[in-house]
A and B are shown apart, each in its own frame.
Chain A
Amino acid sequence: MITTPVSDYAAAVRAALTDVPEPDRSELLEDLEDHLAEVAGESDEPLEARLGAPESYAAELHAAYLQRPDQRPVSKKKPRLLHRLDARAAAFHTRMAERLPWYETARNDFRPAWWLFRGYLVAVAFWILTTGDVSPFPTGILELLILVIAVGASVALGYRMRAGRRRSYLLAFLALGTGLFAVFVVFGLMVESSDGPTVYSSEADSAFSPNGDLANIYPYSKDGTPLKDVLLYDQNGRPIQLDPEWHGYQSVPGGAPQIPNSYPLPICDPNTYMDEPQTPLIPFCPSSDSGDSRATVPQPPSAAPLPAAPPTESATPDEPAASAESSPSSSPSGSPTKPESSPTE
């Protein structure tokens, strides 16, 4: 074996590095000779003069290499809470494994199942929080997509963690959350924009449209007199019902049970914290004693799915001051209260 200044120096360093345990030691010294040769090639000065004694070189090497024996070089510290939870979980698993001999194997065997389940839980929690849909199964393409993403991300995270790469634990969850949110927003916008026109074109002429922009109907006679208690029917004789609640209105509290298709509906605006009502035609609800006005309001008749009473001339229910506009007026001329044919179901 040829000895050169470089190999001599390397051997001396190797000999001085006795206090580094073996797998680390050979790994550390693996390229030392090549490295020293590179240094030596730089100038004719002997290595000892440039690098110092092999012993001090070894000491410096040792210090630099074992600076952080936990193998995470400049690793960011884990958030403390996560760290504590990890320690708790580890302690729990150890205790369980001591008591139940099959625990450790079962834990490993069921891990992928747990990944799937955890992703599923995240997805369900997500659509409950965002859409209020409490169904345990995905309804619609959006929720299906959320489910697929959440389960996929959970499984990917599981593999990552098993590979021992825990660094981006929190990041992964954040990424998952924001990703789901982005999908939700994009799809929400798409659904909204595609929904908008159809409501007006195809749904708005339906007698039971809850989605149209229609919260109430104010009939007027030819001479401009506001009419009240006008019963409206569609071409099939079905009563035309609106859902003012859907628009955030309430029926005037204390009113007598109303015929659902008698217009204008006696509704009021419960958002009394606003400066002005949303529309001048619909007044604020009278403030009740209890803070929550909604609790004291009887169920509005318009929400009831009961078929409206067939219109008769005498069916004029007393309406307690629906709005300022519909003040008592003269009976409308040419009253349109009766349709041509008797309504059928």
Chain B
Amino acid sequence: MDTTQLLKGVLDLAVLAVLDREDSYGYDVVRRLREAGMDDVGDASVYGTLRRLFKAGALNSYVVPSEEGPHRKYYGLNATGRTTLADSRKTWTSFAQTMDTLLESR
């Protein structure tokens, strides 16, 4: 089964969850998602998702100067983002349970 199709639906939730643990910048989010097991996550997808969530008002951002490289734009959840995360978490949990039930009852 191609996980990229599945990823599309939950990438927002995954990015919000990563940022909920700790504020982070674009590439670091990619890294953390991959470390968590989402090997197939695309760099452009994460970047695009971050920009979209930011534009939608779910994230705040601030620039942190970096000594060894370019300035990093950090993103973090604001109140809207936390609400969104909480809502999506519920949706996901119930959806995952539904799937589990479907797959078990064979």
Which residues on A are within 8 Å of B, measured CB to CB? Answer: 24, 27-28, 30-35, 37-39, 41-42, 50-51, 57-58, 60-68, 71-76, 165, 167-168
Q: Does B58 contact A (CB under 8 A)?
A: yes
Kindly identify, within residues 6 to 22 of chain B, every residue whose CB is under 8 Å from any CB belonging to chain A.
8, 11-13, 16
Q: By the criterion CB–CB under 8 Å, are B70 and A74 in contact?
A: no
Q: What chain A residues lie within 8 Å of B70 (beta carbons)?
A: 33-34, 37-38
Within the complex, the shortest CB–CB distance from A290 to chain B, in Å, comes to 52
Q: Does B45 contact A (CB under 8 A)?
A: yes
Q: What chain B residues lie within 8 Å of A71 (beta carbons)?
A: 55-57
Kindly identify, within residues 58 to 88 of chain B, every residue whose CB is under 8 Å from any CB belonging to chain A.
58, 68-73, 80, 83-85, 87-88
Q: What chain A residues lie within 8 Å of B91 (beta carbons)?
A: 76
Q: What chain B residues lie within 8 Å of A42 (beta carbons)?
A: 27
Q: What chain B residues lie within 8 Å of A24 (beta carbons)?
A: 55
Decide yes or no: A61 and B56 within 8 Å by CB, A37-B70, A41-B69 being known contacts.
no
Q: What chain A residues lie within 8 Å of B12 (beta carbons)?
A: 67, 73-74
Q: By the criterion CB–CB under 8 Å, are B48 and A73 in contact?
A: no
Q: What chain A residues lie within 8 Å of B47 (beta carbons)?
A: 32, 35, 61, 64
Within the complex, the shortest CB–CB distance from B32 to chain A, in Å, comes to 13
Decide yes or no: A61 and B84 within 8 Å by CB, A31-B26, A41-B69 being known contacts.
no
Q: By the criterion CB–CB under 8 Å, are A38 and B52 in contact?
A: no
Q: What chain A residues lie within 8 Å of B53 (beta carbons)?
A: 73
Within the complex, the shortest CB–CB distance from B44 to chain A, in Å, comes to 4
Decide yes or no: A64 and B56 within 8 Å by CB, A38-B69, A74-B87, A168-B83 being known contacts.
no
Q: Which residue of B lies closest to A164 (CB)?
A: B57
Q: By the criterion CB–CB under 8 Å, are B52 and A74 in contact?
A: no
Q: By the criterion CB–CB under 8 Å, are A65 and B84 in contact?
A: no
Q: By the criterion CB–CB under 8 Å, are B27 and A64 in contact?
A: no
Within the complex, the shortest CB–CB distance from B71 to chain A, in Å, comes to 6
Total B residues in contact with A, Cβ cutoff 8 Å: 37
Q: Which residue of A lies closest to B46 (CB)?
A: A64
How many angstroms between the C-alpha atoms of A35 and B68 in the bound complex?
14
Q: What chain A residues lie within 8 Å of B68 (beta carbons)?
A: 41
Contact of A61 among B16, B44, B69, B71 (CB under 8 A): B44
Q: By the criterion CB–CB under 8 Å, are A64 and B72 in contact?
A: no
Q: Which residue of B lies closest to A28 (CB)?
A: B51
Among the interface residues B43, B53, B56, which one has the most CB atoms of the partner chain A within 10 A? Answer: B43
Q: By the criterion CB–CB under 8 Å, are B44 and A51 in contact?
A: yes
Decide yes or no: A57 and B73 within 8 Å by CB, A64-B11, A67-B8, A73-B53 being known contacts.
no
Contact of A38 among B25, B83, B87 (CB under 8 A): B25
Q: By the criterion CB–CB under 8 Å, are B44 and A57 in contact?
A: yes
Q: By the criterion CB–CB under 8 Å, are A167 and B83 in contact?
A: yes
Cβ contacts A to B, 25 pairs, < 8 Å: A28-B51, A31-B51, A33-B70, A34-B26, A34-B70, A34-B71, A35-B26, A35-B47, A38-B25, A39-B30, A41-B68, A42-B27, A51-B44, A61-B44, A61-B48, A63-B8, A63-B48, A64-B42, A64-B49, A71-B56, A73-B52, A74-B58, A74-B84, A74-B85, A76-B91
Q: What chain A residues lie within 8 Å of B71 (beta carbons)?
A: 34
Q: What chain B residues lie within 8 Å of A28 (beta carbons)?
A: 48, 51
Q: By the criterion CB–CB under 8 Å, are A27 and B72 in contact?
A: no
Q: Please name the 10 residue pairs, one residue from A and one from B, whose CB atoms are nearest each other, closest first.
A: A64-B48, A60-B44, A65-B48, A38-B27, A61-B44, A64-B45, A76-B87, A35-B26, A61-B48, A34-B70
Q: By the criterion CB–CB under 8 Å, are B52 and A64 in contact?
A: yes
Q: Which residue of B lies closest to A6 (CB)?
A: B70
Within the complex, the shortest CB–CB distance from A275 to chain B, in Å, comes to 46
